[in-house]
Structure 1
Amino acid sequence: MRNLATQAARLMAICGGLVLTLLIVLICISVVGRSLNGLLHGWIGSVMPGLSAWALDLGVGPINGDFELVEAGVAFAIFAFLPLCQISAGHASVDIFTAKLPMRINRVLQLGIDVIFAIVLISIAYQLYNGMLSKQSYGDTTFLLQFPIWWAYAASLSGAVLTAVIAFYVAGIRAVECLRGEDILSQEPGLDL
C-alpha cells in the first residue's frame, strides 16, 4: 500500500511540476509579448510604421487571460504537491521541545498531528468539492477566457482528494506504530522516498 501511495503522490507532484513549468513558459511569452507590444506602439511604430502594423496584425502582444491561467494552474500545483508532502513528512515542524522526549511520547504526538492533518485535509477536499459544485451550478466563468471556473476546482480537487486519502493512510500507519512501538514510516522529511 505504501508503494502505491508513494507512486500516486509522485505522479501527482510530477503533474504539478509540469503545470508550473508550462506556467513559467506562458508568463515569459506573455511578458515578452507585452514588451514588444509596447515597443511596436511606441518608438518602433513611429520609426517603422509598416513593420509595426504588420507585427501587431500578427497578434504580437501579451497572452490574453494569462493571469486567469496562472491563477488556475498555481491552485492545481499547490494541491498536486500536497500528497507528496504528506506521505514524506515534508510539512514544517518545530521539535525543540519534543526532541528530548521518549520515542513513545513522540509517536503519540505524531499520531495526534497526523489525525488532525487527516481531518483538516478531508475537510478541505470536501469544501473544495462543494465549491466546485457551486461554481458548476451557477455557470461561473473567467472574465477574459470565459472558461468555466469549476474546471480549476476539479483539477485542484484531484490533488486534494489524493492528499486526504494519503493523510488518512498516514494516520492509520501512525496508529499502528503507536501500538507496535516501532517506526513504519519515517518522521524525517523525505526519507521514505
Structure 2
Amino acid sequence: MHKLMTGLARTLAIVGGIVLSLLILLTCASILGRLLNGFFHGDFMQSAAPGLADWAIGIGIGPVNGDFELVEAGVAFAIFCFLPLCQITAGHASVDILANTFSRRVNRFLRMVTEVIFAAVLVLIAWKLFDGMMSKRAYAETTFLLQFPIWWAYALSFVAAFAAALVGVYMGAVRSYECFSGRILVWDGVEATQ
C-alpha cells in the first residue's frame, strides 16, 4: 500500500512540476511580449523602422492574453499536486524545540495527532473544493479574458486535493497504528532523532 501511495504522490509531484515549469515559461513569454510591444510602440522604433514596428504589432507581439488567469488556475493545481508528496515524506515544516525533549511514546502520539488533524483538514479542503466546483459549474461562471469555465480549474485542483486527502488519511492511519503498536511502519528520518 505504501508503494502505491508513494507512487501516486510522486506522479502528482511530477505533474505539478511540469505545470509549474510551463507557467514559468508562459509568464516569461508574456513579460517578453509586453516588453517588445512597448519597444515597437516606442518613438525610436516608430521613427527608425516604422514598417517593422507596425508589422510586429500587427502579428500580435505583446503580452499573452489571460496569462494571469492561467497562472492563477495552474498554481493552485500545482500546489495541490505537491501536497501528497510533502505529506507522505513528512516534508511539512515543523518546530521541534520541545519535541526533542519528549519520550518516543509522546512523540509518536504527537505525530499521530498531527497526521490525523492534517488528514481531516485535507479531506475538508477536498470536500469544499468539490462544493465550489459544483457551484461554479451550476452558475456557468467563466474567466474574464479567456472565458473558460472556472469550474475546470476547480476540477483539476479537486483531483489533486482528493489525492492529497487520500494520502493524508493513509498517513493518519499509519501513524495511528505506529502510536498504538510501538512499531514504525514508515521511516522518514524523523525517527532517527528520537
Which of the five TM-score ranges fits, normalised by the shorter chain?
over 0.9
| Cα distance between partner residues in 1 of 2:135 and 2:106 | 43
Partner of 2:100: 99
Q: Give 1:149's aligned residue.
A: 150
Contact 1:12 1:80 in 2 (8 A): yes
Distance 1:59 1:98 in 2: 59
Q: Percent identity?
A: 55
Q: Does residue 35 of structure 1 match 2:67?
A: no
Post-superposition offset of 1:73: 0.5
Once residues 108 and 22 of structure 2 are traced to their aligned partners in structure 1, the CA distance between those partners, rounded to angstroms, is 41
Equivalences for residues 5-154 of structure 1 within 5 A = 5-42=5-42, 43-154=44-155
Q: Contact between 1:136 and 1:149, CA under 8 Å: does it hold in 2?
A: yes
Q: CA-to-partner distance for each residue in 1:64-122, whole Å, 9 max, x for gaps?
A: 00010000000000000000000010111111111121111111111111111111110
Q: By how many angstroms is 1:45 displaced?
A: 1.7
Query: What is the distance in 2 between the residues matched to 1:99 and 1:121?
Result: 27
* CA shift for structure 1 position 57: 1.2
- The aligned counterpart of 1:165 is 166
State the Cα RMSD in Å. Answer: 1.2
Q: Which runs of 5 or more residues in structure 2 are unaligned?
A: none
The CA distance in 2 between the partners of 1:45 and 1:146, in whole Å, is 34
CA distance in 1 between partners of 2:143 and 2:189 (Å): 41
Which amino acid is 2:158 matched to?
Answer: L
| Letter paired with 2:176 | A
2:101 match: secondary structure: coil
Q: Which amino acid aligns with 2:23?
A: L
Using the TM superposition, give the Cα deviation of residue 184 of structure 1 relative to its aligned residue in structure 2, in angstroms: 1.2
Distance 2:114 2:2 in 1: 19
Q: Does the 8 Å contact 1:19/1:77 carry over to 2?
A: yes
Secondary structure at 2:100's aligned position in 1? coil
Count of paired positions: 190
